Structure 1
Amino acid sequence: MLQKNLMKLLFTYCLITLLLCWSNPIISQEQDVAFTGNIHVSGSVQPIANASIQLKKGKIGTSSNADGRFILNVPSQFLPDSLVVSCVGFETLVVPLTASNKERMQLTLHPIVVKLGEVMVNKRDGLAIMKEVIARIPQNYDTTNIRLTASYREYIRLKDDTINYNESLLDIYKTFHTTKTNQNQIKILKGQKLPSDDHGDPRFYNWIKNITNTAYSSLSEDVQPYTEAPRSFMNANNFRYYNFDYVETIQKDTSNLMVISFSPKRSSKRALIEGKLYIEEATLAIVMCEWRLTPAGVRYINRHGKGGIGYTIMSAVLRASMDFRGIKTVINYKKHGDKWYLSAINRYWDVLIDSRKRNMKAIPWKGHFSMLVTDINTKDVKPFTNGVISPASSLNNEIRRTANRASWEDATILSQKVFDTLKNTETNSAKHDDHKPDSDIIHISNRANGFTYADTLRGMLSAPRTCYDVTFYHLDVDVDLASRAIKGNNKIKFKVVTPFKRMQVDLYANMPIDKILFKEQSLPYERVHNAVFIDFPEVQQEGTLQELSIFYKGTPQVPDLKLPMYGGFLWDKDALGNPWVQMVCQGSGASLLWDKDALGNPWVQMVCQGSGASLWWPNKDHQSDEPDSMRIWITVPQEYTEISNGVLAHKTPLANQKMRFEWKITYPINNYNVSFCIGKYAHFDDHYIDNNNDTLKLNYYVMPYHLQLGKQLFQQVKPMLKIYEKYFGKYPFPRDGFTLLESPYPMEHQSGVCIGKAIVDSSSLIIPRVMWHEVAHEWWGNAVTSKDIADMWIHEAFATYAESLMVEESYGKAAAIEYINNQRNEVLNHEPVIGVYDVNHIHYNIEDMYTKGSLLLHTFRSVLNDDERWFSLLKNIQAHFRYQTITSDELIDYICRQTGRNYRPIFDQYLRYTGIPTLQYSLLENNNNLTVRYRWQADHPNFDMPIKISVAENQFDTIYPSSEWKTVTLKNMNEDNFEVDEEGFYIKSAQIE
């Protein structure tokens, strides 16, 4: 809604949602009777929009469009009945319905006469009424989670061309206060859409007709839950910007409704809408809210609300733009029991499209979309567990069924029997898997559940680990696709740091060890949880170089998605049904992903950041110790291709129709980056020549059916590498080349970056965001690695921030700021960004490492207020720490030395506390000047950070708040023009009296 985030008009890669009128007849699968008609004001031809049209007995209904027209399809078994037509400000009309009613109905509604006299009207205080209305919300409205059934319609027109008409029946889980963990959910029960002509320009027409899910944004129009939203006209802090006036009292059915108008005060630039509230006099419950954008609101939307970075990118790529001329929204509420609930939402949008490429100039793009709630369930309401559509998707794309106009069938029949069948549909269809952990009994170690001795063994650098330094691994593994098992050995070369007789390596307890050889002799060992303690016959002397080999086998665990960051082997299949295998260990600890490609072939991938590479191979599983180089040999059936890290040195045919792929890595590599992907791949290559004329070999592996699309998409790889080299320095692993491969799961494997299924999920016009992120990890995470996983923000924050630099280079700094500030909505602030040290703390939601960490870097760039210094600092960090493992403290200390100032309180506040700093301020106008008192409220006792405020209209300057109150007087300024720069700084601001 506009009040929530000034409508959060998300175009993403689509646009917005607009509908206008419903002129297409609807026919049911059953024997339905279609009732059509027009509704207008008695004694005139003025149409009545948003009138509610419902059966008196059945739960079937619709509403009139902007022209007062409606169509309602009723199954014949529901007849005879009566049609109840109602609208605020008019007397309710009841019309008998029988199956014989075939002609278009002309219905008239009579306006209700104002009850109160002029004297009483002038005595009423609109603002006082508003305050009482807000105070009564908890009494009047159900503030629990509820379940709704609703019909939904989209109708989008470009001039006279219908480019999107769809309708659906929705099952909705609706929250009152949406949080990160409790959000609205929508399932499509059934739906259909009319085909539309793309006029030979499919990308353009798909953009303007496939709107980010407007069913979700419709739910956000509910004004009740958002009285504290920053821009809501119902937020008490914003009352100063609006006039609230009592207009009249009218009668609807047996209730008296007070009409309160709200409009911007003269010269107010922060009040962007105007409209009316219809309030039941007896209970002070809002019955209807209608609002429209003011001219200032239209200007604001066109500057800030056209869909964020998605709109910016697609507008540039397609060379087309959209500008709003107006938005109008009408929200209705209906009483159910002793509480009021959302009943209907109608939104009308008016847009102009320009595209010189297409000879389009100010082409009208209008629409109307409507949601009508037909059933409410308040008992035992729980979130859905399956079938939920994405808020980022297009509803038009989510609806699979296309109907022609001749056989257009009704998809909005809302019978009670349909809803009743929904109440017990949430079932767990997952098949039993012997290798999958039991989510109900497994201990998940984190701050909430505590940590165990096993976590200490995995996460601490104890003496049996620090006594040696790994210099080389040679991993040799045979993958059995049929049994989903592996067998192999790992040769470990190491340098003795301190004398020892016992050392620790790591291998998951479910993976049996056949033997451990040292100088051709078997060594005894003890297994404790996932640690392996190896005993030597004599003391290993400091400074000596030694090696041993561990032979093992087993079936690696598979992921359990119900557990936070708990993974395993990913076994998939491609589109042809071939095996597609990937090892994934990020966060979840590890996973071998068994998938299938689009042809049904097995598709297998290994990913293991987090709980560790020891999920599938024995090693010193701590990020602090990387081998200087490595060999990886993976054996698979000869008809498959296997991709690991580094350079493919040899392919060796073996017995039993097997092939061994032998990979060579010549740089240090962290254990979780060691990986493989197995599938039926197509391969092509290219070369990248940098500014110094150095050549980098590029290898690409994709599913054969994506070969041409991959070649198109990967044309953008070389410009991406050039951008990253500009900001971070040369590509870190030139001898090993650079490889991108399609995979079941995206992951930043060093010199073998997995992009997941991004090719099929993207347009070849734009390289997917996931590729920006995973490739950035070559610098942040691979070339520079955190010593402890608790500091993994160093990987994720910088890689996420790198995404914004891709946007900045391609679309400008303003677009990049918009892109990065979209991450605010994803920050949880449940736990500090930095995790718990020495226990491999990973089994929790780590999203703040990405988003909050990225916003910290964006904020620090604004703190420096010098882009030359900022980008120089990024390059220097890379140069100073390349091929090293580091801690947060080492990084922060380096930044402070490079900048010559102690910025540790800033980093500590954002990384070690869950809150973000709040700038408290008060304003006092004095003639033409504005006195501002301000201070920081933060968790860190010595928090001290500069911030920018407006010192004139659209002009910002820096102030230096601390925890103590300070004062500044701004000349020729007023309160209405005062702003805090919350786009450049990830902070909160709070005006206090």
Structure 2
Amino acid sequence: MNKLFTLLSLFTWMLSGAQIVGDNHSDYTEADTLRGSLRPERTNFDVHKYHLKLKVEPEKKFISGSNIISFKVEKALPVMQLDLFKNMEIDSIIHEGRTLKYERKYNAVFIEFEKALKKGTLDSIQFYYHGNPLIAENAPWDGGFVWTKDKDGNPWIGVAVQGTGASLWYPNKDHQSDEPEEARMNIAVPNGLMNVSNGRFIGEKDLGNGFTEWSWKVVNPINNYNIMINIGNYEHFSDRYKDLDLDYYVLPYNLEKAKEHFAEVKDMMACFYEKMGPYPFEEDGFKLVETPYLGMEHQSAVAYGNKYLKGYLGNDLSGTGIGLKWDFIIIHESGHEWYGNSITSKDIADMWIHEGFTSYTEAIYTECRWGKEDALKYLKGIRQNIANSSSIIGDYGVNAEGSGDMYYKGANLLNMIRSIYDNDKLWWNTLRDYTKTFKHQTITTADTEKFFDEATAVDIKPVFDQYLRHSSLPTLQLRQADDQIQYRWKADVENFRMPVDVIIDEEEIRFNATSEWQSFETGEELDELKVNDLEFYINSEIVN
């Protein structure tokens, strides 16, 4: 972190566990380009499956094993780029029983085939490696392994890698644009411990060498950074919501507390099913897994470390008290199953598609349980954590996220678009259609803008442009002219236009404001006008 914020702002900045790469800048390195850009060595093949077979040795903080990478060749492929952090040692890379040559550059691995693979070929390689992966100093805000022990002295291990990269611990095509259609994890851990990974539990096997292998399988597309291991002396209990299996893995001394606290999951699912559509990974089930760090949205195995408290570690990020009515990590990280896990941005620069929508799910849940008024108050409250100092969208092709405003400025943007629609039935139908249309897909900001713009007669393209690509808020300028109140927008976007609702003499009136002065006939004075700031996040000023 290279920015100073208040405590609550820091929480907000990091609330999903993502490592923020930084604000937009120009001092990118070749390593950034190798990681963030798409070139033939990456685009000429499509990953179909990862099969991790690893041994984890807690005392040595050491992992070893392989990843079988299955793929389809899209264009002739003489050289393939995969990614693995340079501190991890490569043992060998095998293709059709032969050892392949490779070169390493920063964290990229360029693998040379004896003959270029032909278009349409379905193939695989076995990538053997070992090493001591990066240790996170403050997970989940920096990427790496967490090697710790529970209160009973048992090893308790977790990993968080969003932003830093899944390639810090296993070889893969470390770019969000390509997700494997399925994944298998066979993880060997010391006897007496359990590994919990994504998807369905396949079985356990005593290897006879002091280690037990725990096997899991995912049958849906999954982000690289979501493939996960969680190792501990876990207790398991389960429940169901409709046809969805709910599984929970917690430390033994928290079992009874967890059974009571996790009851909120059913309320959350009921709300999200209604407002956003069915859980997108029913085949893989839903899990909460207790972790030694705060939390992360690991697909079908959500990391939970909020200490069984309401709010965010007992704090309310909105400052309204409303955020203390529910467990922040359960709601936010589970909301990512719809936004971030099911719908994924192709480039990390568009991460607001993950974080803005997921932050809005906090308000959705609030509205389901306690009403729209509380949801609007919550959304207004979290504005205190918005900096408005740099753009939400980052720089493309260099593995750079935009600003932390992607969270709560993104959420307020969505709430404002709902207000512009001025039709709640249309809004919820559009949101459900969005999650259904782009289910299990990687998309761009342009895809999102087009979808929500086409759902309404109002042109909201300038709204997206101002809030996503510029740091400042638009300002509604107001002035008095006899019996008229005149108004216009001052904004970065040329010819900016956006409807805005104001209240005059207790009556709500819509100004279809543009960058040109317009007039509203009224007998009221300008100081009687108030912007509906629960639904519109703007600046306003009185000018001469």
The two structures share one fold, judged by TM-score above 0.5: yes
Alignment of 1:507 with 2:59, yes or no, is no
- In structure 1, C-alpha distance between the alignment counterparts of 2:509 and 2:457, rounded to whole Å: 22
- In structure 2, C-alpha distance between the alignment counterparts of 1:592 and 1:621, rounded to whole Å: 17
Structure 1 position 976, deviation (Å):
4.3
What aligned pairs does 1:474-873 form with structure 2 within 5 A after superposition?
A: 474-560=51-137, 588=142, 590-689=143-242, 695-745=243-293, 746-759=295-308, 761=313, 766-842=325-401, 846-873=403-430
Is the 1:595–1:603 Cα contact (8 Å) retained in structure 2? Answer: yes
- In structure 2, C-alpha distance between the alignment counterparts of 1:600 and 1:947, rounded to whole Å: 58
SS at match of 1:515: strand
User: What amino acid is the match of 2:515?
Assistant: S
- In structure 1, C-alpha distance between the alignment counterparts of 2:187 and 2:484, rounded to whole Å: 70
Is the 2:479–2:526 Cα contact (8 Å) retained in structure 1? Answer: no
1:358 aligns with none
Is the 1:791–1:835 Cα contact (8 Å) retained in structure 2? Answer: yes
- In structure 2, C-alpha distance between the alignment counterparts of 1:863 and 1:520, rounded to whole Å: 60
The 1:652–1:603 alpha-carbon spacing in structure 2 relative to 1, beyond 3 Å, is same
User: Aligned pair count?
Assistant: 519
The higher relative CO (CA closer than 8 Å, separation ≥ 6) is in 2
- In structure 1, C-alpha distance between the alignment counterparts of 2:249 and 2:38, rounded to whole Å: 38
Alignment of 1:965 with 2:522, yes or no, is no
2:465 aligns with 908
- In structure 1, C-alpha distance between the alignment counterparts of 2:521 and 2:397, rounded to whole Å: 50
Structure 1 position 949, deviation (Å):
1.1
What aligned pairs does 1:69-218 form with structure 2 within 5 A after superposition?
A: 181=4
What aligned pairs does 1:392-431 form with structure 2 within 5 A after superposition?
A: none
- In structure 2, C-alpha distance between the alignment counterparts of 1:986 and 1:610, rounded to whole Å: 28
Structure 1 position 609, deviation (Å):
1.2
- In structure 2, C-alpha distance between the alignment counterparts of 1:698 and 1:950, rounded to whole Å: 46
- In structure 2, C-alpha distance between the alignment counterparts of 1:599 and 1:978, rounded to whole Å: 62
2:498 aligns with 945
- In structure 1, C-alpha distance between the alignment counterparts of 2:417 and 2:26, rounded to whole Å: 34
- In structure 1, C-alpha distance between the alignment counterparts of 2:404 and 2:62, rounded to whole Å: 32
1:467 aligns with 44
Is the 1:490–1:551 Cα contact (8 Å) retained in structure 2? Answer: yes
Per-residue displacement from partner, 1:953-989 (whole Å, max 9, x unpaired)? Answer: x221101111111111124x34443211122111011
Is the 1:477–1:486 Cα contact (8 Å) retained in structure 2? Answer: yes
Alignment of 1:455 with 2:4, yes or no, is no
Higher helix share: 2
Is the 2:32–2:398 Cα contact (8 Å) retained in structure 1? Answer: yes
Per-residue displacement from partner, 1:489-525 (whole Å, max 9, x unpaired)? Answer: 0001100000121110000011010000001110000
- In structure 1, C-alpha distance between the alignment counterparts of 2:452 and 2:445, rounded to whole Å: 11
Is the 1:445–1:451 Cα contact (8 Å) retained in structure 2? Answer: no
Per-residue displacement from partner, 1:343-388 (whole Å, max 9, x unpaired)? Answer: xxxxxxxxxxxxxxxxxxxxxxxxxxxxxxxxxxxxxxxxxxxxxx
- In structure 2, C-alpha distance between the alignment counterparts of 1:740 and 1:767, rounded to whole Å: 16
Alignment of 1:918 with 2:484, yes or no, is no
Per-residue displacement from partner, 1:420-469 (whole Å, max 9, x unpaired)? Answer: xxxxxxxxxxxxxxxxxxxxxxxx87644610111000000111000000
1:404 aligns with none
SS at match of 2:344: strand
Is the 2:265–2:330 Cα contact (8 Å) retained in structure 1? Answer: no
SS at match of 1:949: strand
User: What amino acid is the match of 2:274?
Assistant: K
Is the 2:23–2:390 Cα contact (8 Å) retained in structure 1? Answer: no
What aligned pairs does 1:269-308 form with structure 2 within 5 A after superposition?
A: none
Is the 2:24–2:391 Cα contact (8 Å) retained in structure 1? Answer: no
Which ranges in structure 1 are unaligned for 5 or more consecutive residues? 1-179, 186-212, 214-389, 391-443, 562-569, 571-583, 690-694
Structure 1 position 182, deviation (Å):
6.3
SS at match of 2:513: coil
Is the 1:472–1:628 Cα contact (8 Å) retained in structure 2? Answer: yes
Determine what percentage of the aligned residue pairs are the same residue.
Answer: 40
Per-residue displacement from partner, 1:881-911 (whole Å, max 9, x unpaired)? Answer: 1110000011111222232443211101000
Give the TM-score, by structure 2 length.
Answer: 0.92
What aligned pairs does 1:236-275 form with structure 2 within 5 A after superposition?
A: none
- In structure 1, C-alpha distance between the alignment counterparts of 2:132 and 2:437, rounded to whole Å: 41
SS at match of 1:979: strand
- In structure 2, C-alpha distance between the alignment counterparts of 1:445 and 1:847, rounded to whole Å: 8
Alignment of 1:892 with 2:449, yes or no, is yes
User: What amino acid is the match of 2:417?
Assistant: F
Structure 1 position 629, deviation (Å):
0.8
Structure 1 position 657, deviation (Å):
1.8
User: What amino acid is the match of 1:715?
Assistant: A
1:988 aligns with 539
Is the 1:713–1:767 Cα contact (8 Å) retained in structure 2? Answer: no
User: What amino acid is the match of 1:556?
Assistant: P
Per-residue displacement from partner, 1:927-959 (whole Å, max 9, x unpaired)? Answer: xxx52111101001131100011132x221101
Structure 1 position 767, deviation (Å):
3.7
What aligned pairs does 1:326-337 form with structure 2 within 5 A after superposition?
A: none
Is the 2:23–2:394 Cα contact (8 Å) retained in structure 1? Answer: no
The 1:766–1:981 alpha-carbon spacing in structure 2 relative to 1, beyond 3 Å, is closer
- In structure 2, C-alpha distance between the alignment counterparts of 1:920 and 1:975, rounded to whole Å: 11
1:978 aligns with 529
User: What amino acid is the match of 1:741?
Assistant: V
Is the 2:485–2:526 Cα contact (8 Å) retained in structure 1? Answer: no
1:64 aligns with none
2:436 aligns with 879
SS at match of 2:212: strand
- In structure 2, C-alpha distance between the alignment counterparts of 1:461 and 1:708, rounded to whole Å: 48
- In structure 2, C-alpha distance between the alignment counterparts of 1:766 and 1:516, rounded to whole Å: 52
1:427 aligns with none
Structure 1 position 654, deviation (Å):
1.0
Is the 2:306–2:329 Cα contact (8 Å) retained in structure 1? Answer: no
Per-residue displacement from partner, 1:527-558 (whole Å, max 9, x unpaired)? Answer: 01100000001121101101001000111112
Is the 1:638–1:659 Cα contact (8 Å) retained in structure 2? Answer: yes
User: What amino acid is the match of 1:502?
Assistant: V
User: What amino acid is the match of 2:507?
Assistant: Q
- In structure 2, C-alpha distance between the alignment counterparts of 1:892 and 1:815, rounded to whole Å: 27
Per-residue displacement from partner, 1:840-865 (whole Å, max 9, x unpaired)? Answer: 014x8x42110111111111111111
Per-residue displacement from partner, 1:687-726 (whole Å, max 9, x unpaired)? Answer: 111xxxxx11110111111111111111121111010011
Is the 1:742–1:759 Cα contact (8 Å) retained in structure 2? Answer: no
SS at match of 2:412: helix
